[in-house]
Amino acid sequence: MEALAVRLSGLDPYVDGAMRIVAFYDTLMRRRVDLPALARASAGLAECVAGIRLHGSGRSTRVSPHGTAAATPAVPASTEVAVTLDEEEIGTVWLERPGPPHPLDEVLLDRFALAAAGAAERYGPARTTMADPALVELVISRGTDDAARARALRLLGFAPGLPVHVVAVRTRLPLDRVGALVCPSRPVKAAPLADVGVLLAAAVDRTGFPEGVRAGIGAAEGPDRSWRRARTALRFTSPREPVVHHADLGALALLADIPEEAVRDNPDVTALGRLTPEDLETLDTYCATDSVRRAAELLHLHHSSIARRLDHIGRALALDLSTPTGRTRARLALLTGRLLDEEASGGARDDGPFRG
């Protein structure tokens, strides 16, 4: 094989150069260089500025051909390649070559990206978003002692003392994609656990959740407690409010602790089961807005139609929905009924009788 390689390199200068690049990076990987050293070596080999950016840290490293930090501002990359680890894109490597790319730049960047993935995995926690479910479960379990929890967090890439929010997610989208959207520049790990997805994140942008995702967010007050509260918040989600932070629930969170038997025996909740899905949507919208006209706007109906529906619903529930007490009872019945439906279905469906 080596003899064949020598013959090929003698016939084609491109092959000779490519083989030298491959050998160069093979040597760097055997020497187990870190990312800064890899960037310096790549810039020297390419004779232009070379850069590395890992999505997990959000930081970029740019090095000049002289081995020093490149001057800013950055020049637009002439060529770039994604860095992948475990089939997930974790970053990018690039060259900032003045003028057109060199014929061997593609080979150089391919090997640069491969070496960067190895260095990222070797010199720190893997920068992939997806994590070992067993480690994640260890972090959020109530029975884990402090030392084991701290060790699991370190293995997952969370520095000691770093706040950790736990998010309970139900989605058909890949969990790593959801994690990257809601925590783009801070540590975030994801894992499926039983019937729900789990995100561990240093910060959560609740506006970043894609459409169709249901998410309950726990505060950064200890991962085990945050997990329990995230699960509770997830039970309060609905198509109208798909993302709920436990801290925003306040006293409403107490509804999740009401025994199932007591909910089933409540006459207000029982009466909701006799309403049509259309009536339930009207009632939920009216309770959420506290306005016939605003509910009509949201449901794209005339306000007189909404008023007639509410009159019919009020008679069916034996409630005067024009009074604060009537609206409060209706809203509490909707919420507790939704929680009951969520508990019974395990959150697997969106069409239960109490879904708003």
pLDDT confidence band for 348 (50 / 70 / 90) = very low
At 296, the amino acid letter reads A
CATH number, position 36: 3.30.450
Helix intervals (H) in the chain: 2-11, 13-30, 35-46, 105-122, 133-140, 146-155, 175-182, 223-235, 246-249, 260-265, 267-272, 277-289, 292-299, 303-317, 324-345
Whether 273 and 182 map to the same domain: the answer is no
Q: 193 in a domain, yes or no?
A: yes
CATH number, position 279: 1.10.10
Work out the average pLDDT over 285-302: 89
Domain boundary among 255, 282, 305: 255
Whether 225 and 339 map to the same domain: the answer is no
At 78, the amino acid letter reads S
pLDDT confidence band for 46 (50 / 70 / 90) = very high
Domain count, the chain: 3
Whether 303 and 325 map to the same domain: the answer is yes
Cα(294)–Cα(302) distance, integer angstroms: 10
State both tokens at 229: 């509260």
Range of the domain at 205: 133-255
Cα(260)–Cα(267) distance, integer angstroms: 14
Whether 229 and 327 map to the same domain: the answer is no
pLDDT of residue 243: 96
Cα(55)–Cα(73) distance, integer angstroms: 20
Q: Cβ contacts of residue 231 below 8 Å, gap of 6+?
A: 168, 196, 216
Domain boundary among 228, 255, 282: 255
Task: Let me know: does 236 contact 257? Beta carbons within 8 Å.
Answer: no
pLDDT of residue 56: 61
Q: 354 in a domain, yes or no?
A: no
Whether 286 and 247 map to the same domain: the answer is no
Residues 71-96 have pLDDT tens digits of: 766 677 888 999 987 677 878 999 99
C-alpha angle 165-166-172 in degrees, rounded to nearest 5: 130
Average pLDDT, the chain: 85
pLDDT of residue 58: 60
Q: Residue 123 gets which letter from DSSP?
A: S
Cα(73)–Cα(70) distance, integer angstroms: 9
Q: Give rounded-to-5 percent helix, strand, coil for the chain.
A: 50, 15, 35
Whether 228 and 302 map to the same domain: the answer is no
Burial class (CB in 10 A: 0-12, 13-18, 19+), 194: exposed
Whether 269 and 248 map to the same domain: the answer is no
> Residue 105 pLDDT > 60, yes or no?
yes
Whether 68 and 154 map to the same domain: the answer is no
Cα(328)–Cα(252) distance, integer angstroms: 12
